[in-house]
Amino acid sequence: MKKAIVLTSGGLDSLTCLALAQQSFDEVHALSFNYGQHHVAELEAAKRITEKMNIHHHIVECQFLGAMGGSALTDDSIAVEDYDPEGGIPATYVPSRNIIFMSIALAYAEIIGSSDIFIGISSVDYSGYPDCRPEFIDAFQKMADLGTKVGSEGQPIRFHTPLSLLSKAETVLLGTKHGVDYGMSVSCYRADTDGRACGTCDSCMLRKKGFEEAGLIDPTHYY
C-alpha cells in the first residue's frame, strides 16, 4: 500500500499535485492548515476538492501561526498589495510557513508510514518567496533525512515538487491533461467567502497569466 501526502491549500498548484499523486499512489492524504489566513475560502475549496476526488483530508489547526502576525495573509494591520513583479518579497510572505507545514507533513508521514510528500511550489511564476526555491527544498530534504528516525535509518521520506520548474501555463496544461477541474480551486489572497477572486493580487495575476498563456478558458469566478 503506497501512501502519499499532499500539502493542500485548495489552490491551483496543490490541486494539480493531488491529481498527480492519485495516479501513482494507492492512498492519498491531503493535509491542509488552518493558520488564521483571511482567505479561508481556500480551506473550503480544499474540502470540496478532496471530497470530490475521494481523498483523505486532514485539517491541521495551526492558529498559533496567524496569531503571531507578521504577514498580510493573517494580520489585519498589513494590507495585501496588488501584484508588483519588481516589488521583492511581498507582504503576503508568512514567516516559516512552508518550513512549518513541511515539518508537520514529515511527522504525519513517519506516523502513517508514507515515504512521499508532494508540495506544489514553483520557482518560475511565483511571488519570490524564499521557501519556494529548489535550493530550499534540497536543504529541507537533507535536514529531514538527518532529523527523522526513518531518515536516520536509511529509509528517508522524499519531498516531491513536480511543479517546481514549470510555468503556471505548463502547470494548468499538465493538470488539464489529467482531468483537473480548476474551477474547484481558490487561489486568491482576497477571496470572498464564496471563493470569488479579486483578480489583482499576486496569486490571481499569476493564475490568470497561466490560463492566458496556456490558451485555456480561465474558470475563476471574479467578484
CB of 5 to a second copy, least distance (A): 12
Q: Which helix (H) or strand (E) holds 209?
A: helix 202-214
What is the DSSP secondary structure assignment for residue 80, as one 8-state letter? P
Strands (E), the chain: 3-7, 27-34, 56-61, 116-118, 158-160
* Residue 219 CB, nearest approach to a second copy (Å): 32
Among 18, 30, 100, 169, binds a second copy (CB under 8 A): 100
Residues that bind a second copy (rule: CB under 8 A) add up to a total of 42
Contact flag: residue 53 with a second copy (CB under 8 A): no
Q: How far apart are CA 146 and CA 25, in angstroms?
A: 25
β partners of residue 23: none
* Contact pick of 10, 11, 36, 151 for a second copy (by CB under 8 A): 151
User: Is 78 a residue that touches a second copy (CB under 8 A)?
Assistant: no
Tell me how far apart the alpha carbons of residues 9 and 15 are, in angstroms, rounded to a whole number: 8
Rounded to the nearest whole angstrom, what is the least distance from the CB of residue 101 to a second copy in the complex?
9
Q: Pick the piece of the chain touching a second copy (CB under 8 A) from 9-17, 36-44, 67-75, 178-186.
A: 67-75
Which residues lie closer than 8 Å to 30 by C-beta, 6 or more apart?
5, 6, 8, 14, 18, 46, 49, 50, 55, 56, 57, 58
For a second copy, give the closer residue by CB, 149 or 177. 149
Q: In this chain, which stretch among 12-20, 62-70, 173-181, 209-217 interacts with a second copy, using CB under 8 A? A: 62-70
The answer to whether 64 contacts a second copy (rule: CB under 8 A) is: yes
CA 125, 131, 133, 137 dihedral sign is negative
Q: Which is nearer to a second copy, 71 or 185 (CB)?
A: 71
Q: Counting Cβ atoms within 10 Å, is residue 86 exposed (0-12), middle (13-18) or buried (19+)?
A: exposed
Q: How far apart are CA 81 and CA 71, in angstroms?
A: 11
Our CB check for a second copy shows the closer of 139 and 165 to be 139
Q: Does residue 156 touch a second copy according to CB under 8 A?
A: no
Tell me which residues touch a second copy (CB under 8 A). Answer: 60-65, 68-70, 89, 93-100, 103-104, 106-108, 110-111, 130-131, 133, 135-136, 139-140, 142-149, 151-152
